[in-house]
Structure 1
Amino acid sequence: MARLAAFDMDGTLLMPDHRLGDQTLATLRRLYEREITLAFATGRHALEMQWILNNIGLDAFLITGNGTRIHSMEGEVLYRQDLNPEVAEIVLHSKWDTQASIHVFNDSGWLTDKALPGPLQAHVYSGFRYRLADLKRLPAHDVTKICFLGDHDDLCRLRIQLNEVLGARAHLCFSAMDCLEVLPMGCNKGSALAVLSTTLGYTLQECMAFGDAMNDREMLESVGYGMIMGNAMPQLRAALPNLPVIGHCQNQAVSHFLTHWLDTPNLPYSPE
């Protein structure tokens, strides 16, 4: 029996229009009523996720920034990790051969240097927005993570460049096909969930997790019950071939799976 359930947001709990479905909300409340601890594990910012929690009226732990922050149900910071200032300095001040836009996150919010409407579409539910800033003047010690948004093939070439320069000083991962993230070394949703589960007195084998992208890999492979979305990145499905695949986020597949798990756990599950 799982005691903690951890959910990625984009491509997992959220539908393609970046909203939570009514069935999903109802099922999350059922888990909470069964005294199963909830955790949202996402690349999104803590400020945005705290707004979402308040709006939907659920108590949950937050793993945000792809594992760079853990917040309690009361909003207390339980864990934090930032990019090494030397790494932030290199990424922000080097010339990279890429057309991707660059985005910086810290405790104050989301900063970028060009006004782009596209990235805002993922935040229509919360209204969370970036602030325009001169990123080269941003203090290197005030950077939690850096994201590049652009064409996937372009980002793959950029990843090679970043790997050559940064080596083992940063963790690079795709949180979506069009989003490459530069994170503190050893920082991911899986390591953050391990910290949270230990804090709560659970083992990872007592945890259930759902995800769809490569930034979910460590989390999904470390828990007792890892579920891959039907709309997941092909790279994730290839990396974790033994994990079950459920339905598409468009159809609120997490709710569909959990309803089966709660009501008919002894019967085989079939995606909708």
Structure 2
Amino acid sequence: MQNDSQRSHPVRMIAIDMDGTLLGTDGHVSARNLAALQAAEGAGVEIVVATGRRHSYAMRQLRGLGLRDENVLISSNGTVTRTIGAALLERNQMQIETSRWLCGHIDEFRNALVITFDTVGTDGEDARGSLVVEHLEELNGSIGKWMAANEPYIAQVAPIERSLEGEAPIQMMLCGTIERMRRAEARLLEHPGVSAVGVNPQEHTASEVALHRTEYPERDLSIVDILPAGCSKGAALLRLATKRGVRATEILAIGDNWNDVSMLEMAGHKVLMGNAPDDLKQTAVERGWFVGRRHDEDGVAEAIEAVLAETLSRTT
């Protein structure tokens, strides 16, 4: 799974995406994946979950797995970092004026817009108003299951700018068909204050916000996350690793989509899931990344087992 240079650096931290990676098609962690996580922790490797989900929504699947309260959950694509026990480690918020400007800049797409606020309490739960929308119909059509699951947290506010009169948001999100969201991304990138995160990011010296794209071709669904500048899974993971005294070369990153690219790029060991979009798998092949098994084939477990076997071979 690793080339010779990677083998020279043992893994001390494993960062794992959730949807399409750790979670199977049923939305749960398989017994084999869970056993692999436990084996890694038993071997002294720190497990970090890095997801596009906000903290409380991620905890729906993570709660009850037996992960330690001290384990770290990087949520909202790197905007917020908390422990599984809900202790806040880091939070980045968008400037309110920038958020208001964005609502007007993407006016054509505001019926596909969700604004996220960090209202997580000490119990790890959110409150209604942590998610704000102006229109329901378009979002119910594109992400209906997500809307239903998050109904207790959604507030409908018109115009949506009214939600920006108090606390600053951590994230804005556009959801729709792949073609429409690529147009939305292009519209956003017309402004020099907006930069794209991923393979071949556009560099802007005065960047105010960063875009992260996630695509699900089989569902013709794309999500464009709009985050404070400098926020990404990779950036948050690197800051955490630095605090832990872990080098990037000692990190295994496992992901399946474009919003995982930043952490795959910075990690010394990288595994892209076999269910990743075809164009991303092609990029992985070109860059020499390992393409593993699918999320419904316990691809996470296979990747972790390989790393642990390599570690064991060093000590025997």
TM exceeding 0.5: yes
Of 62-71 and 131-140, the range deviating more from structure 2: 131-140
Pairing partner for 1:119 from 143, 151, 171: 143
TM-score (norm 1): 0.88
Instruction: Work out the number of aligned pairs and report it.
Output: 265
Q: Does 2:174 correspond to 1:148?
A: yes
Q: Counterparts of 1:27-106 in structure 2 under 5 Å?
A: 27-59=36-68, 60-98=71-109, 101-106=112-117
CA distance in 2, matches of 1:224, 1:201: 15
Who is 1:206 aligned against?
Answer: 250
Aligned to 1:136: 161
- Across the aligned residues of Structure 1 and Structure 2, the Cα RMSD in angstroms comes to 2.4
Unaligned runs of 5+ in 2: 1-9, 120-129, 195-206, 217-221
Return the alpha-carbon distance in structure 2 between the equivalents of residues 32 and 121 of structure 1: 33
CA distance in 1, matches of 2:225, 2:132: 14
Paired residues of 1:147 and 1:181 also in contact (CA < 8 A): yes
Decide which of 214, 219, 224 is 1:180's aligned counterpart. Answer: 224
Partner residue, 1:249: 295
Q: Which residue of 2 aligns with 1:258?
A: 304
Whether the 8 Å contact between 1:43 and 1:175 is mirrored in structure 2 is no
Q: Distance in 2 between matches of 1:117 and 1:160?
A: 22
- How far is the alpha carbon of 1:4 from its aligned partner? 0.6
1:140-199 alpha-carbon deviations (Å, 9 max, x no partner):
652111111100011111111111134332111212341111111111000000111011
SS in 2 for 1:18: coil
Equivalent residue in structure 1 for 2:260, among 206, 216, 240: 216
Q: CA deviation at 1:53?
A: 3.2
Pair 131,58 (structure 1): closer, same or farther in 2 beyond 3 Å: same
Conserved 8 A contact 2:250-2:267: yes
Deviations 1:72-108 (A, max 9, x none): 3542211111122222112224453348621111112
1:158 aligns with 2:184: yes
Q: Is the 8 A contact 1:103 1:111 kept in 2?
A: yes
CA distance in 1, matches of 2:65, 2:173: 28
TM-score where L is the length of structure 2? 0.76
Say which is worse superposed, 162-171 or 90-99, in terms of deviation: 90-99
Moved more, 18-27 or 2-11: 18-27
Query: What are the superposed Cα offsets for residues 207-255 of structure 1, whole Å, 9 maximum, x if unpaired?
Result: 1110111111110010110111111123433444310100111112111
- Report percent identity of matched pairs: 25
Match of 2:3 in 1: none
Q: Which stretch of the first structure deviates more once superposed, 72-81 or 113-122?
A: 113-122
After the TM superposition, which of the residue ranges 101-110 and 213-222 deviates more from structure 2?
Answer: 101-110
CA distance in 2, matches of 1:227, 1:148: 27
